Structure 1
């Protein structure tokens, strides 16, 4: 890791080093007791002062029934007040398929919803290892169908759905995109994938060269996939591993963001190439001097990327409107 640190943006590395989350031994817990990561993160979040909801924003938690009717799926919605017919961003949080919550993105989504006029719907999907694949994807697809059927009731445009996620959430978003393409029930207009894990094989050059990178290591990635796929690891089923899919045609346009110092970098690039080969339009961005999940840390690099995201979403929505025959 020491050889990698010298290439990391110094103010980003300072923010990571000073973060209370640096005290959590993610790699060890992933191997030995992954559920404890949730407890450790919860303790740290409870110690922080909750962010006040901006007066011009409506934030609500809703529960929708699962496809089998056996459980409820919580979604957390962020909507600018007084706005209707908004583009909708269906989002999946990160956390190695094992931990993480929608609330961890409040600091980002409070502002993003207002700056982009997006209705953001963040899914609290079931987590591994108790609920391995396809539980998270199934919850996500159910949320997608709910949004298509009921989005207008909460101020959204059912014909303008963007799907997105960060880290493992981006994997789930990509899986759902393939599933939705095949089922032909709902049209997704765009996929927005941040530093996505796309292959369980862990065989890319960046996975070898950056195996000991901070925030995401090869060992952590291996445990992540083991908990997610479990007895299906040696022969993953369709949709579980996006880069292993055989058909990339007729998928929505994509924005894919990778980090220069993330071992997952090459997986994102390979996925982008698969899409391009299938004549899917892709905007691939590589953030220099950044590590996995860098945008969670308060520093100029993260702020610059936030402003870039606002511009990206504005461009995405504009392109969707240009293609819309109703306009």
Structure 2
């Protein structure tokens, strides 16, 4: 792995980090990932539910909420990243708990199905089912169905965007906002950052191609925007959006170009490039960069919900 990218000093441990290029390794990795707990603490309650997923699947789902809040709260649907092949990591649970604590929201986090066994559309349809369930059960969940934000990192950002298009097309209440960090949004991979960042830490162009190829191995769907949101014919009615991108990331331009699409459709959008970072920098969740990033996101969430 080359080290020519000037990562922030707190992120240099990621220089040698790289995801596996063989998709068939990941089910074994997920055996261990599945052992990572998301536990209640002095500030946060974590409850496990099983809700209806795609095609009758019983979808394990976490509800993460601030302690001692009995009133109706806004909701964040949090779709974890991991290339649609990895289960949620400690980082995802930490961010979900921060969102719940600092924005006074109930966070709903579905454990959607993964490749290689379940390729498109299983992950996104599971997550859309979770969104529908949250809206339909808003009263029991004590959430405001008109104040739901969908959020996700990397592949989770892909899902969050797709869920908005699905809700729009299917006549569902739309989320009030979308929050994405280094999202994967365009299966065509025809961007300058895809050509430039072929050897970056954690994720590079070759790995991104592997994920897209595996995701769409059965061909392109009729609604291509449910898989590749950048290819949507229309961005009208899309929700107000926050996008954060890493400086040294093959997915860098996905976020930039998606923001431009939204602006052209007169959709409010906030775009931030985080200097000195690579894909997956959230894993350094004790770093100054992540603390600053979290502060920006919390401010945007509060503003959007207000």
TM-score between the two structures when normalised by the length of structure 2: 0.92
Could you say which structure has the higher helix fraction?
Answer: 1
Verify the 8 A CA contact 1:57 1:80 in the aligned structure 2.
Answer: yes
Q: Does 1:38 align with 2:26?
A: no
Structure 1 residue 292 displacement after superposition? 0.8
Mapped pair 1:273 → 2:272: no
CA deviations over 1:101-150 (Å, ceiling 9, x no partner): 27652222223311110111111111112111111111111111110011
CA pair 217-67 structure 1, distance change in 2 beyond 3 A:
closer
Q: Say whether the 8 Å CA contact 2:52–2:133 is kept in structure 1.
A: no
Cα offset, 1:11, TM superposition: 1.6
1:57–1:110 CA contact under 8 A, matched in 2: yes
Identify the residue that residue 296 of structure 1 maps to in structure 2.
Answer: 283
Mapped partners of 2:206, 2:304: distance in 1 = 35
Equivalence for 1:307? 295
SS at match of 1:139: helix
Q: Which residue does the alignment assign to 1:11?
A: 10
Q: 1:41 to 1:143 in 2, by over 3 A?
A: closer
Identify if the C-alpha distance between structure 1 residues 249 and 149 changes in structure 2 by more than 3 Å, giving closer, same or farther. Answer: same
For structure 1, the residue ranges without an aligned partner over 5 or more in a row are 319-327
RMSD of aligned alpha carbons: 2.2
In 1, distance between residues paired with 2:221 and 2:172? 31
Tell me the distance in 2 between the aligned counterparts of 1:59 and 1:36: 26
Write out per-residue CA displacement over residues 4-31 of structure 1, whole angstroms, 9 at most, x where no aligned residue.
Answer: 33x21122113x369xxx4xx623333x
The aligned residue for residue 219 of structure 2 is: 232
Gaps of 5+ in 2: none
Kept in 2: contact 1:225–1:233 (CA 8 A): no
Partner of 1:285: 272
Cα distance per residue 1:26-66 (max 9 Å; x no partner): 23333x53433324645xx65xxx67532232111111123
Confirm or deny: 8 A CA contact 1:226 1:233 kept in the other structure. no
